[in-house]
Structure 1
């Protein structure tokens, strides 16, 4: 994780230096290479925080590459561009007071900021899509028998199928991994049950059971509610997750 963060910081600094050399939107006329480098590298590092947070939030709530994901990412990029534009505008006026005389409207500054943000997001999305495609090709070349060793370390609370991906729910958040749900379940060492066609839940993650056989859901320790298919209720009863009285947990706590 630390290596990956350092890699993104390095790429961000390099991108800032490149923008300082190119001087987009007339910034090359501001002069002062040190100030240009400081401004653009600082702006890009701020963008890494804002746009990176936006990207993680969207990816945690929508399947990567889906229409919902794409629309949410555009909206999140525009929202992240608001503080980015306000901060960079204030810093630019401080570094180059003469810019204030140009009376550049804030909407124009925002449009310029959002343009760079959209380009950066598109670049990141393209790079991750290629990485996902490469991973899919690697998985396709593996034998169909035997479990796939997956990076599912840590305290996994539940697995949720989303198209060709599996969302791994943990106490600290969630992540998407390119893998069939069945293969992901095979890699799990913790005890658990398949509660739904698209869900697997770890035994220790269940804090309470709500509903009845017609509409049942499990509340997990991270606050996520996992659905229970009618056909899975019998398995949950046999495992002691649900009492024979369907409206209450077997131990009165879950």
Structure 2
């Protein structure tokens, strides 16, 4: 669920881009009077915003599944996302004369849609930097878990409760299963849930030294959270106690195998 602060930031940046494009009149739109030109770019950018809003989530999922860089995965998602968007836009704009749409019209619409979609995606990334998500806000100092805390698959020990948990909401504080890098944030996955923390990945990993391993440029996994390993052709994934599967970078395979992470049984704590 998108936070209200981030949504307002995205809409503010989007409104500014509409005004800039209406003033510049790219793609030959400068020949259109200002009023219709402003309406054209407003409809185009708002439509692009609606269709491209899921692109970052799709790119993040692609990066997790393939192990590629998140920025490259988002760019790939933009390239594919522009196809259906441009087709819908050009045929809707043609209306009753849709039979007259040519391949050149589709190619031109695709290029414009890709540019607009990439712009919308950049808007989301900029808004993500300027507006700290609600679940990334630091909470009060961590308190010891009460005796009534439900038992989880990962033992809650002093070693498993680093200072990083001080920045999580109280109801999410508990044994850390893994860390996931998301641009300037780290998503901390605990036995109780997950939340974003504004911290560099290497700084978060440093707080957990000796408790796990950096298995991918975007992932750190706690040793105690490991339930097993799955091999798919040349690629490996770690299966955690919560059912999550985390990709393993090929460069990390020799070290993880030497430490027993890729065996039939999880490594000893």
TM-score normalized by the length of structure 1: 0.55
Counterparts in 2 of 1:219 and 1:70: CA distance versus 1, 3 Å: closer
Correspondence for 1:200 among 210, 222, 242: 222
- Whether the 8 Å CA contact 1:165–1:181 is kept in 2: the answer is no
Q: Aligned partners of 1:149 and 1:176: how far apart in 2?
A: 9
Q: Aligned partners of 1:177 and 1:57: how far apart in 2?
A: 22
- Whether the 8 Å CA contact 1:168–1:177 is kept in 2: the answer is no
Partner of 2:150: none
2:154 corresponds to 1:152: no
Counterparts in 2 of 1:71 and 1:234: CA distance versus 1, 3 Å: closer
- Whether the 8 Å CA contact 1:60–1:175 is kept in 2: the answer is no
Correspondence for 1:25 among 27, 43, 50: 27
Give how far 1:93 is off.
3.1
Deviations 1:139-196 (A, max 9, x none): xxxxxxx94676433647632365997443378888685332346659xxxxxx9344
Partner of 2:53: 52
Q: Is the partner of 1:56 in helix, strand or coil?
A: helix
Correspondence for 1:181 among 204, 219, 228: 204
Counterparts in 2 of 1:129 and 1:2: CA distance versus 1, 3 Å: closer
Counterparts in 2 of 1:57 and 1:114: CA distance versus 1, 3 Å: same
Deviations 1:89-113 (A, max 9, x none): 2343359x8xx69995211221122
RMSD over equivalenced CA pairs, Å:
4.9
Q: Aligned partners of 1:226 and 1:184: how far apart in 2?
A: 22
Residues 19-168 of structure 1: matches in 2 within 5 Å? 19-31=21-33, 33=35, 35-59=36-60, 62=63, 68-94=69-95, 105-121=105-121, 147=163, 151-153=167-169, 155=172, 158-160=177-179, 166-168=186-188
Partner of 2:145: none
- Whether the 8 Å CA contact 1:78–1:114 is kept in 2: the answer is yes
Q: Aligned partners of 2:124 and 2:56: how far apart in 1?
A: 9
Counterparts in 2 of 1:148 and 1:90: CA distance versus 1, 3 Å: same
Counterparts in 2 of 1:21 and 1:83: CA distance versus 1, 3 Å: farther
Which of these two proteins has the greater Rg computed from alpha carbons? 1
Partner of 1:242: none
Residue segments in structure 1 that go unaligned for 5+ positions in a row: 132-145, 187-192, 236-254
Count of aligned pairs between the two proteins: 203
2:218 corresponds to 1:221: no
TM-score normalized by the length of structure 2: 0.53
- Whether the 8 Å CA contact 1:16–1:41 is kept in 2: the answer is yes
